[in-house]
Structures are given as structure tokens and as C-alpha cells.
């Protein structure tokens, strides 16, 4: 396999600058959920130029696509994302908070890197198939709206992954490890209240306040928090307050809830209680409430068989090396990371390492980078966040991993992460991820017994009990409201 690693290194050299340019272009575009039209055009144009067949607009999602190469053998799918976050616009490479466009979008989760590393892996795998050194079918799945839209869950619902044998993906992070956790399932739901407008001073008795209903609902849910499981999370955002005039009784108001728990059954139980609270708020204010299901995703199922292969390949490729100039920038960025953020990253590393945590000597780490690969251990723990990769993992054996793209402690969804997403730090972590995905796909295609074992493990995990959490009648919310 060392010979194959060297071959991949050689093949990737011809694509390296293209891959970096793609990632930087998507960073510049920074489009949010279901609006990633230009990002999709950038990726699909390049994939077509290197010989892939591309189908855009799959599963009823205009910004979802599949790029395919090969017609024989097992099907390996690589999942890519390219959506940004609103309000996180940030000047590249700056160690201080400064936006280029105030209030603009920014790649606060590194999806410009996430989606592009898959292109790197597919490019070298295609060259190996062309050379007759590999047999199989490789696909890039362009997946929109991971942030708040659960694009993959809609794609799973429409059967997009039904003939895939193995799915691989990764995520940029501030350390390198296999993703061994589960994740929290979730529902995202709008509660819209309609009342009666009135003059708030002259005739308040004629009004029925939708804003009062939203506030009462939020208070009720806050009291509910004491009575749900400790791992569950309930978040909300008031997306419509009914207007800007305090002398008008607001006749309409809207609140968006995101409900998370360890599995869909638990999420649904909490959701049903929140529905009752909303109905109670409606009764108290004599308003009407309309409930609009927005999206959902399941809990992630790690696949130990594939995870072990990924861990071996993380070690074979080895961590990135940085120039003096890159290290100087990293030190500057490191100063923007708070002690609490640093400690949070260290705690996550410890959880991933499991029984190996004490060997890591994390208390002594005070440098821009964690210069080890976190030891892999099978885990029954769950991270506090959610991912729509989870629904893919219920229908296909799936594995993912982290690589170091940012200085240690850089939190997701922050300006610091956006700042680093268009630098050599991010580029090196992205190319590292591309190599690891390519090597893992090669291992699987050259030893199909590994695919059999991964599928056997998957069947035991799921017991064929999967039910897509998004009702069939719910359409993707393209407009975020």
C-alpha cells in the first residue's frame, strides 16, 4: 500500500492547484442552504472537464447532483457539501474579526474544503480506473443544505443512495481523528401564530397578540427543559415578531424550533410535548397556531469495519507539515482562541480517544496544532451536534473522519474558522483528506470482503428498521421560512 500511496501522491500533483482553486472559489461564493447554484456550477463544470458524467437536480433538489465514473464493480460514494452560513462573512487570513461584507455569508463550517476534497479523491481514483489498476464505480454526491436543510435526508428519502455499497466523507476540524461518535437526531419545525391586530393603546381589548403567543410558548418550553433527557437539546429562534411598531397588537408571529435527542423516537416524544405547549399558548392568547414541519435527520451510525481502514490510512498519509510563514500565521490565530475554546477541543479529543485519553498528555499542549493522530477506539458515545450524513449511514455503510485544517481549538461556526478556510492550513488538511478517502476506496475495491464485512455490521446495527424522519408530503424549504 505504500506504493499506492506514492502513486496517489504523484497523481494528485497534477490536480493540486485545481483543487485549491476550486475550494477558494467556493469560499468566495459562500452560498447558503439550497441556494448553492454557483458553487454547484463550479464543481460540476470541473468534474465534467475531467471525464465524469454529471446529473444535476436529483431528488427534486436543484443544487444536488451526482458525478459518476465507471460501470463495473462495487459502487463507492463520496459525499460532498458546499453550503455556507449566514452572517459569518470574514476577511481571509485575518487574525482579528473583520468582515469583507458586513452581514454576508461565510464558510463557518469549512464546507468549501469538505466538498472539494472529495473531488480530489475522485480524480485520482478515476485515473487508476482508466489505467486498468482499479475496477469499480465511483460517485461524487453533491449534497446541499447540510446547515439547517438536511439535504441528504431528502436525498435518502428519494432513494438516491439505494445502489451504493459504501459511503465515505470527512469534515474539517482542528485535529485529526476517525469520527467514531454517533450524533443527535433532530426535527426542525416552524410554529406560526395568527391573531388580531388592534391599536395597542386605544383598543387593546380588541387585539389578540401572536407575539404574546410566541413568548408564552417559549416560556413553556423553557420549563419543559427540566423534564427531558440530559442529552436532549431544544433551540429556538423568533423569525417573525410581527412588526416594528409597539403601538400595534401584533397579529402574526413565528418561531422556529430545533429539537435534538439521541434518536428519532426520543425527538418525536419531545416534539409532541412542545406541540401541546404551542396549543396551550394559542388557547391562552385566543390565537391560531399552524405547525409547519421543516426538516429532520436521524442519529449517525459509525461503521467500525470502515473506521479501522480509515485510521490505518490516516497514519500512512501522516499529518501535514507547515512552513515558517504558515506557522507564524497559525500562532497569530492561536492567540484568538480562548482558553475555554481550547479546553473544549481537548475534551472532544479525549472522548474520541476513549481509553487512550490519558496517553495523549493534552494538558501540556499549548501550540497552534495538535501534532498527533487521535487513536481510534470504537465508541458508544454521541456528539451534541447533528448531521444529515446520519440518514445516509442508515441505508449504506458509512464512515467519516476529521483532518487538521485549523489551529487547535478553533470552534465551528465562527469567524476564526472562516478566516482559516482559504489558507494553506485549510488546503493542506483538505488534500490530506482527499488522499485518505482515495486510499480507503482503493482498499475496499481491492478487497471486496471488507465491503461484505461492513455490510454485515451495518445490517446488524440497523436491523432493517430505518424510517426516513421527513414525512413524504414535506418539501424542501428552499426559502428558509
Residue 98, pLDDT score: 95
As for how many domains the chain has, the answer is 2
Are residue 155 and residue 212 in the same domain, yes or no? no
d(CA 220, CA 280): 9
199 and 328 both lie in a single domain: no
pLDDT class for 57, splitting at 50, 70, 90?
Answer: very high
In a domain, 87, yes or no: yes
- What pLDDT, in 10s, does the model give residues 456-469? 999 999 998 999 99
Q: Is pLDDT above 80 for 364?
A: no
Residue 471 lies in a domain: no
Residues 6+ apart with CB under 8 A from 278: 191, 217, 289, 291
Between CA 400 and CA 182 the distance in angstroms is 11
Regarding whether 404 and 339 lie in a shared domain, the answer is yes
Same-domain status, 288 and 351? no
Distance separating alpha carbons of residues 74 and 149, to the nearest angstrom: 30
Tell me the mean pLDDT in the region 53-71: 96
Assess whether 305 and 440 both reside in one domain: yes
CA 355 to CA 465: how far, in whole Å?
A: 31
Q: Return the higher-pLDDT residue of 363 and 35.
A: 35
pLDDT at 220 over 90: yes
- 386-398 pLDDT, tens digit per residue, is 999 999 999 999 9
190 contact partners, CB below 8 Å, separation of at least 6: 239, 254, 255, 256, 257, 291, 292, 294, 481
Under the banding of pLDDT at 50, 70 and 90, the label for residue 59 is very high
**Domain annotation covers residue 470:** no
Is the confidence at residue 481, as pLDDT, over 70?
no
Burial class from Cβ neighbours inside 10 Å (0-12, 13-18, 19+) for residue 472 reads exposed
Looking at residue 29, its pLDDT comes to 97
For 332, counting Cβ atoms within 10 Å of its Cβ (0-12 exposed, 13-18 middle, 19+ buried), the class is: middle
Supply the CATH number for residue 450's domain: 3.40.630.10
Residue range 85-121, pLDDT digits in tens = 999 999 999 999 999 999 999 999 999 999 999 999 9
Look at residue 137 and tell me whether its pLDDT is greater than 90: yes
Whether 175 and 201 share a structural domain = no
Q: Parallel, antiparallel, or unpaired: how do β-strands 166-173 and 288-297 relate?
A: unpaired
Same structural domain, 313 and 244: no
Residue 307 lies in a domain: yes
191: closest CA among 172, 170, 218, 165?
218
pLDDT band at 302 (very low <50, low <70, confident <90, very high): very high
Residue 110 gets the label, from left (phi > 0), alpha (psi -120 to 50) or beta, of: left
Last residue of some domain: 274, 297, 320?
A: 297
pLDDT band at 239; cut points 50, 70, 90: very high
Question: Is residue 167 included in any domain, yes or no?
Answer: yes
Whole-angstrom distance, CA of residue 428 vs CA of residue 176: 12
Report the Cα–Cα distance between both ends of the chain, in Å, rounded. Answer: 50
If asked whether residues 197 and 173 sit together in one domain, one would say no
Mean per-residue pLDDT, 429-452: 97
User: Would 425 be classed as within a structural domain?
Assistant: yes
d(CA 357, CA 351): 7
**166-173/398-404 β-pairing:** parallel
Lowest average pLDDT, out of 11-20, 117-126, 198-207, 347-356, goes to 347-356
CA distance 197 to 209: 7
Domain with residue 291: its CATH number is 3.30.70.360
Among 256, 275, 297, residue at a domain's last position:
297
In this predicted model, which residue has the larger pLDDT, 233 or 384?
A: 233
Strand duo 65-69 + 137-143: pairing: antiparallel
Same domain, 123 and 189: no
Is 476 among the domain residues?
no
For residues 331-350, give the mean pLDDT: 93
* pLDDT at position 68 over 90: yes
| pLDDT tens-digit series, residues 414-425 | 999 999 999 999
Residue 361 — pLDDT band, cuts 50, 70, 90? confident
Q: Answer whether residue 227 shows pLDDT above 80.
A: yes
More confident residue, 64 or 148: 64
Domain assignment present for 481: no
pLDDT band at 453 (very low <50, low <70, confident <90, very high): very high
* High-pLDDT (> 70) share of the chain, %: 99
Same domain, 96 and 42: yes
Together in a domain, 308 and 442: yes
Do 172 and 189 reside in the same domain of the chain?
no
Structural domain boundaries enclosing 231: 185-297
Amino acid at each position: 500500500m505504500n506504493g499506492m500511496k506514492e502513486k496517489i501522491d504523484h497523481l494528485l500533483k497534477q490536480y493540486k492547484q485545481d483543487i485549491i482553486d476550486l475550494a477558494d472559489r467556493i469560499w468566495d461564493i459562500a452560498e447558503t442552504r439550497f441556494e448553492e447554484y454557483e458553487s454547484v456550477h463550479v464543481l460540476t463544470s470541473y468534474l465534467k472537464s475531467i471525464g465524469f458524467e454529471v446529473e444535476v437536480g436529483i431528488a427534486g433538489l436543484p443544487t444536488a447532483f451526482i458525478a459518476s465514473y465507471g460501470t463495473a464493480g462495487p459502487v463507492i460514494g463520496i459525499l460532498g457539501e458546499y453550503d455556507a452560513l449566514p452572517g459569518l462573512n470574514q476577511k481571509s487570513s485575518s487574525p482579528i474579526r473583520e468582515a469583507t461584507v458586513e452581514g454576508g455569508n461565510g464558510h463557518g463550517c469549512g464546507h468549501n474544503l469538505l466538498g472539494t476534497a472529495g473531488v480530489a479523491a475522485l480524480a485520482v481514483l478515476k485515473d487508476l480506473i482508466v489505467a486498468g489498476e482499479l475496477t469499480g464505480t465511483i460517485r461524487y454526491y453533491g449534497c446541499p443544505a447540510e446547515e439547517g436543510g438536511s439535504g441528504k435526508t431528502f436525498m435518502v428519502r428519494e432513494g438516491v443512495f439505494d445502489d451504493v455499497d459504501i459511503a465515505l466523507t470527512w469534515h474539517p476540524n482542528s485535529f485529526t481523528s476517525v469520527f467514531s461518535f454517533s450524533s443527535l437526531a433532530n426535527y426542525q419545525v416552524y410554529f406560526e401564530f395568527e391573531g388580531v391586530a388592534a391599536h395597542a393603546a386605544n383598543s387593546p381589548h380588541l387585539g389578540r397578540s401572536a407575539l404574546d403567543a410566541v413568548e408564552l410558548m417559549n416560556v413553556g418550553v423553557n420549563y419543559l427543559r427540566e423534564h427531558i433527557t440530559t442529552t436532549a437539546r431544544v433551540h429556538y429562534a423568533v423569525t417573525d415578531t410581527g412588526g416594528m411598531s409597539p403601538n400595534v397588537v401584533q397579529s402574526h408571529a413565528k418561531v422556529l424550533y430545533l429539537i435534538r435527542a439521541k434518536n428519532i423516537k426520543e425527538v418525536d416524544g419531545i416534539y409532541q410535548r412542545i406541540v401541546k405547549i404551542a396549543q396551550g399558548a394559542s388557547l391562552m392568547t385566543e390565537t391560531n397556531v399552524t405547525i409547519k414541519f421543516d426538516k429532520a435527520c436521524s442519529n449517525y451510525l459509525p461503521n467500525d469495519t470502515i473506521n479501522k481502514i480509515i485510521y490505518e490510512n490516516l497514519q500512512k498519509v501522516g499529518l501535514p507539515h507547515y512552513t515558517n510563514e504558515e506557522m507564524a500565521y497559525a500562532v497569530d490565530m492561536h492567540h484568538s482562541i480562548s482558553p475555554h475554546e481550547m479546553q473544549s477541543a481537548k475534551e472532544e479529543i479525549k472522548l474520541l480517544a476513549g481509553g487512550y485519553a490519558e496517553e495523549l498528555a493534552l494538558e501540556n499542549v499549548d501550540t497552534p496544532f495538535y501534532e498527533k493522530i487521535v487513536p481510534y477506539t470504537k465508541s458508544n458515545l454521541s456528539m451534541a451536534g447533528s448531521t444529515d450524513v446520519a440518514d445516509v449511514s442508515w441505508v449504506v455503510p458509512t464512515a467519516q473522519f476529521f483532518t487538521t485544517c485549523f489551529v487547535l481549538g478553533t470552534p465551528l461556526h465562527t469567524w476564526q474558522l472562516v478566516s482559516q478556510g482559504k489558507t494553506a492550513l485549510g488546503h493542506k488538511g483538505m488534500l490530506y483528506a482527499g488522499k485518505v478517502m482515495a486510499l480507503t476506496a482503493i482498499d475496499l475495491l481491492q478487497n471486496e470482503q471488507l465491503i461484505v464485512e461492513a455490510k454485515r455490521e451495518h445490517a446488524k446495527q440497523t436491523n432493517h428498521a430505518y424510517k426516513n424522519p421527513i414525512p413524504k408530503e414535506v418539501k424542501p424549504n428552499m426559502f428558509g421560512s
